[in-house]
Chains A and B, each alone.
Chain A
Amino acid sequence: MTQDRDIHAYLAEFDDIPGTRVFTARRARQGYQLNQFAMSLMKAENREHWKADERAYLADWKLTDEQKQAVLDRDYTKLLDLGGNIYFLSKIFSTDGQSFLQAVSTMSGMSLEDYTAMMIAGGRSPEGVRSIKGKN
């Protein structure tokens, strides 16, 4: 009743939103191992192993080399492109002692100070970033 009846048209619209990766089935499949790895950091003993030797910890997971490097680099924009989901990736930055504000600001192209100031001033306006095609 409320959704587009054509699944292809429904999914195609998601690619028309600037700077946004909607966590679709395609991304969920691409990022399965990456997200499950991140999830493993919910256990305190796993966090200890991870902190002791990140590369050795990653060796036990079937991530692509590109995904592994992006994890080591804490490149969250890249990780989203490689199928990561922010709520799974949050286990990595939480283990680093970072807040959502700190981690999310790294994807915005702004410094933490500027990003925080933007949020206090009311956040980013939706004007001009709703649709690529519609330029609104």
Chain B
Amino acid sequence: MARITAGVASSHIPALGVASDLDKTAEAYWQPAFAGYEWTKAWEAEVKPDVVILVYNDHASAFDMKIIPTFAIGCAEEFQPADEGWGPRNVPVVKGHPDLAWHIAQSCILDEFDMTIINEMDVDHGLTVPLSMMFGKPAEWPCRVIPLAVNVVTYPPPSGNRCWALGEAIARAVASYDEDLNVQVWGTGGMSHQLQGTRAGLINKEWDNRFLDGMVGSSDALRRIPHIEYLRETGSEGIEMVMWLIMRGAMGRETRMLHRHYHVPASNTAVGHIVLEPVDGEVPPTETIEGNSQAAQDLIA
């Protein structure tokens, strides 16, 4: 049976990708940001996940203003790095896991999370920067990746509560997949940053660190933070942190912290990173008709 073994959260700041691509990570400005990922690189090499469900947001790359899916799951065999205006990053192609991705899509829809299914898309820095931070610069990424794109650009984005509940639905989906797979869920984006207007450059260390504290243990208080609090306290782009809550929801009732890192700045943004493992990975049972229908579940088994 597939099992969720760990959760990782990380900023996905594009400048970190540039620093990695241009081998600038030892420079004085970048070194402290990257140093906090060394532990995770060694740990990932040891625990070797088979699949990462990577929650991120597309930054006007795969999706333009024509179509704005709230939750979109990538079911393709592979995903090419996107050209975001300066040519695609020179990083490996991202290999998907279509069978598990389709299973999660179907299971979530029966669970009343109406996912958008994506069969072709390029993936931007939101997805490839976390891979660089956790795996460095290998010739091939060491695992399969299921992209899960969340709209946090056009308002309203999904609520933190909805994101947490989606994480729980993903956990139920993974648990009902027969193949023996070591699965991690990554939530990316944040932490505090504002990329516009006279408040540009806003950083809120106290708030960010309280959020990191809240990811650990058995409290689910973070799911009740309203959008306006993210906007006021963490800048207009801090709303990306709702994506961390999909990961946290998928971890179940209680988590333990394996590693934590916080550094200001990288470009305009606070770098935040945490590695969690489930202590009690139990999630609430599905409450939907189709989720509880053996006939419906047999169809997607």
* Residues of chain A at the chain B interface (Cβ within 8 Å): 1-4, 10, 13-14, 17-25, 28, 32, 35-36, 38-39, 41-44, 47, 76-77, 80, 85-88, 90-92, 94-95, 97, 99-101, 104-105, 107-109, 115, 118-120, 122-126, 129-131
Q: Which residues of B contact A28 (CB under 8 A)?
A: 65, 154
B231 contacts across to A, CB distance below 8 A: 14, 17, 20, 22
Q: With both chains docked as a complex, state the minimum distance between the C-beta of B218 and any C-beta of chain A, in angstroms.
A: 19
| A4: nearest chain-B partner, CB-CB | B226
Chain B residues whose C-beta falls within 8 Å of the C-beta of A107 in the assembled complex = 196-198, 200
Could you say which residues of chain A place their CB within 8 Å of the CB of B85?
Answer: 41-42, 47, 90-92, 94-95
Contact of A123 among B15, B202, B225, B237 (CB under 8 A): B202
Let me know if B196 and A42 touch, CB within 8 A. no
The answer to whether A21 and B197 have CB atoms under 8 Å apart is yes
Residue B270 at the chain A interface, CB threshold 8 Å: yes
Measured CB to CB, the nearest residue on chain B to A103 is B195
Task: Type the 1/0 row for B225-240, where 1 means its CB is closer than 8 Å to any CB of A.
Answer: 1111001110011000
Are B228 and A42 closer than 8 Å at their CB atoms? no
Instruction: With both chains docked as a complex, state the minimum distance between the C-beta of B238 and any C-beta of chain A, in angstroms.
Output: 10
- List 7 A-B pairs, minimum CB-CB distance, nearest first: A123-B203, A94-B85, A19-B198, A19-B197, A19-B199, A119-B265, A87-B59
Identify B232's interface contact among A17, A87, A123, CB under 8 A.
A17
Q: Which of B90-98, B131-139, B156-164 contacts A (4 or more CB under 8 A)?
A: B156-164
User: With the chains together, A29 CA to B299 CA distance in Å?
Assistant: 41
**Measured between C-beta atoms, what is the minimum distance from A23 to chain B in Å?**
6
Separation in Å of the A72 CB from the closest CB of chain B? 18
Q: Tell me if B214 counts as interface (CB < 8 A to partner A).
A: no
In whole angstroms, what is the CA distance A4 to B224 when docked?
11
Q: How far is the CA of A1 from the CA of B159 in the complex (A)?
A: 9
CA distance A108 to B232 in the complex (A): 17
B201→A99 contact, CB < 8 A = no
Residue pair B225, A101 in contact (C-beta under 8 Å)? no
Contact B264 A119 (CB under 8 A): yes
Q: How far is the CB of A51 from chain B (nearest CB, A)?
A: 12
Residues of A within 8 A of B65 (CB): 28, 32, 35-36, 39, 88
Contact of A13 among B61, B161, B228, B264 (CB under 8 A): B228
> Contact between B226 and A2 (Cβ–Cβ < 8 Å)?
yes
Contact B195 A44 (CB under 8 A): no
In the bound assembly, the distance between CA atoms of A19 and B235 in angstroms comes to: 10
Q: How far is the CB of B17 from chain A (nearest CB, A)?
A: 12
What distance in Å separates the Cβ of A58 from its nearest Cβ neighbour in chain B?
A: 17
A-B contact pairs, 12 of them (CB 8 A): A19-B199, A23-B154, A36-B65, A42-B84, A90-B59, A92-B85, A95-B85, A107-B197, A120-B29, A124-B199, A125-B203, A130-B233
A10 touches B15 (CB 8 A): no
- Which residues of chain A are near B225, meaning CB under 8 Å? 2
Chain B residues lying within 8 Å of A92, measured Cβ to Cβ, are 85
Closest to B61 in A: A42
Tell me the bound Cα distance from A23 to B153 in angstroms: 7
- CB neighbours (8 Å) of A125 from chain B are 202-204
Q: Which residues of B contact A88 (CB under 8 A)?
A: 60, 64-65
- Shortest Cβ distance from A96 into B: residue: B85
- Inter-subunit contact B268/A101 (CB<8 Å): yes
